[in-house]
Amino acid sequence: MTIPANAALLVIDLQRAIDDPVWADAGPRNNLDAESNVARLLEAWRSAGRPVIHIRHDSTFSNSPYRPGQPGNSFKPEAAPLASEPVIGKRTNSAFIGTGLQALLESSGIRTVFVAGVMTNNSVEATVRMSGNLGFDTCLVEDACFTFARRDFAGCLRTAGEVHALSLANMEGEYCRIAKTAAVLE
């Protein structure tokens, strides 16, 4: 896979809050190696001098583990930003809404973004959809993302793998291309 020199890696919401038991109430998560894959991507991006942008969810809900001032608002060690890497706080599911992400990408001449983080069917999907709609060449690194089991609208429990796969199907082709970490790092 050819990656432009200025392709940005967006790491979405990989904060300690994602380990809170509230997320796993319906069932276990998928992609247990996602954090180590994100760490591998970060190492490769940093070694190549490519831009890395961290997205931090700053929830406005008082009971959210993502709320600023709570331990869950800090980044997981595997995804901790370097002092030189921008951190963009967001309050909605998409990293483009109410933030300076689009302006940062455009002012830096970045037209290609690789996306990793959590949750596949929430903030990752919302950000990928907007990225594609805004005309960015977007690649979702599917094994550097994860989600949790969830009940569908009819009440049927869907595994995390099913939720993840359906989210990928929603995005692939129209909003992004999808790749695995190994293919990106080749």
The CATH number of residue 47's host domain is 3.40.50.850
Domain membership flag for residue 3: no
- Which tens digits make up the pLDDT trace of 102-118? 999 999 999 999 999 99
The answer to the question of residue 2 being in a domain is no
Give the chain's domain count: 1
Give me the sheet containing 112-118, strands edge to edge: 87-90, 52-57, 8-12, 112-118, 137-146, 177-179
Q: Kindly report, residue by residue over 18-61, the tens digit of the pLDDT.
A: 999 888 776 899 999 999 999 999 999 999 999 999 999 999 99
Measured CA distances, 113 to 1, 74, 104, 123, 162 (Å): 14, 23, 12, 15, 25
pTM: 0.96
Q: Is 1 inside any structural domain?
A: no
E strand residue ranges, 66-146: 87-90, 112-118, 137-146
